């Protein structure tokens, strides 16, 4: 029997506790009254806020009401920040199509991770990146144009090879969803396989995995809010993960659990607002 490729990470200090902490927060959220009949409303609002926070984590701060208008069909207001936020929204909406309905006995088939990342990148970066670069791993000698604070990224060939390995790892593992999402998120940030938009893609893919692999059946947890509110620790954690050291990986997973717990709290606030009929822009 082939060993699970991520199983050794469960033995790192604090990782088991992190998995349990995130699971408890998501289980508690699942039984909020709003998810009995109005889960689609909660999920839609949480998606909007997740997209806004993901854009903010890349430095693009856009008012929630402006992004809400885009979600309901209005054109983006223009400008680099608005374009990035609109791309984050498109990626979030696309990821939502692969997410299982709450309580469903079956779920949409999730393509292999490499295809998911390529399609999310096409959605996120359209209009901001040349068409020939959409969904394609960087070519030889092409450096990513984002997340420079994480240090040099691997070259295109190495990034492609490691992305293929990551795809096989996700297909083979039965590790807890928190661990899978954290590894995918951290590795995409480390590789930065695309010319731009890597952060939005990493966060959208990881959030999808939390739902598709059963940790967050509500599909409403939004850890992006925690990262947007504390960018230096988020980026420092990603840089430590990229070193591949046991301490760096364990710290990233523990921080990931903290963000999921906070994201479950954000989702609970959205659910409360849906029940009370008082959704308001968050700044």
Can you give the residue range of the structural domain that contains 259?
A: 12-276
Q: How far apart are CA 138 and CA 3, in angstroms?
A: 32
Closest C-alpha to 210, from 183, 246, 238: 183
Q: Kindly state whether residue 5 falls inside one of the protein's structural domains.
A: no
Q: Shortest CA distance to 60 belongs to which of 48, 69, 51?
A: 51
Rg (CA), the chain: 18
Q: Which residues contact 280 (CB under 8 A, 6 or more apart)?
A: 273
pLDDT range class, residue 75, cuts 50, 70, 90:
confident
CATH number of the domain encompassing residue 250: 1.10.3290.10
What pLDDT is recorded for position 46? 98
Answer yes or no: are the C-beta atoms of 39 and 102 closer than 8 Å: yes
DSSP secondary structure letter of residue 195: S
Query: Quick check: is 137 in a domain?
Result: yes
pTM score, two decimals? 0.95
Residue 209 resides in a domain: yes
Q: Is residue 6 assigned to a domain?
A: no
Asked whether residue 111 is assigned to any structural domain, the reply reads yes
Cβ atoms of 185 and 164 within 8 Å: the answer is: no
In a domain, 160, yes or no: yes
Instruction: Look at the chain and report how many structural domains it folds into.
Output: 1
Average pLDDT, the chain: 95
Cα 202 to Cα 92: distance, rounded to the nearest angstrom = 11
Q: Which of 97, 69, 96, 86 is nearest to 123 (CA)?
A: 86
- Residue 281 pLDDT > 80, yes or no? no
Q: State pLDDT tens for residues 193-211.
A: 999 999 999 999 999 999 9
Q: Does a structural domain hold residue 2?
A: no
| 190 within a domain of the structure (yes/no) | yes
């Amino acid at each position: 029997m082939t060993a699970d490729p991520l199983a050794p990470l469960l033995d790192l200090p604090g990782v088991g506790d992190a998995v349990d902490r995130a699971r408890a927060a998501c289980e508690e959220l699942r039984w909020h009254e709003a998810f009995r009949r109005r889960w689609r409303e909660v999920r839609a609002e949480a998606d909007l806020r997740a997209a806004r926070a993901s854009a903010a984590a890349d430095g693009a701060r856009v008012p929630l009401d402006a992004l809400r208008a885009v979600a309901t069909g209005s054109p983006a207001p223009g400008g680099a920040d608005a374009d990035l936020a609109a791309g984050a929204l498109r990626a979030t909406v696309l990821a939502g199509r692969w997410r299982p309905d709450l309580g469903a006995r079956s779920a949409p088939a999730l393509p292999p991770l490499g295809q998911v990342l390529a399609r999310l990148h096409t959605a996120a970066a359209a209009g901001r990146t040349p068409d020939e670069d959409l969904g394609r791993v960087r070519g030889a000698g092409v450096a990513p144009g984002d997340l420079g604070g994480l240090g040099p990224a691997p070259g295109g060939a190495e990034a492609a090879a490691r992305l293929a390995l990551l795809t096989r790892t996700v297909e083979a593992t039965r590790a807890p969803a928190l661990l899978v999402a954290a590894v995918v998120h951290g590795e995409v940030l480390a590789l930065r396989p695309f010319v731009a938009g890597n952060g939005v893609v990493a966060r959208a893919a990881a959030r999808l995995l939390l739902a598709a692999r059963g940790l967050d059946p509500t599909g409403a947890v939004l850890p992006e809010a925690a990262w947007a509110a504390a960018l230096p620790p988020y980026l420092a954690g990603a840089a430590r993960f990229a070193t591949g050291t046991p301490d760096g990986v364990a710290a990233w997973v523990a921080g990931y659990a903290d963000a999921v717990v906070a994201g479950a709290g954000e989702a609970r606030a959205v659910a409360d607002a849906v029940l009370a009929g008082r959704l308001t822009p968050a700044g």
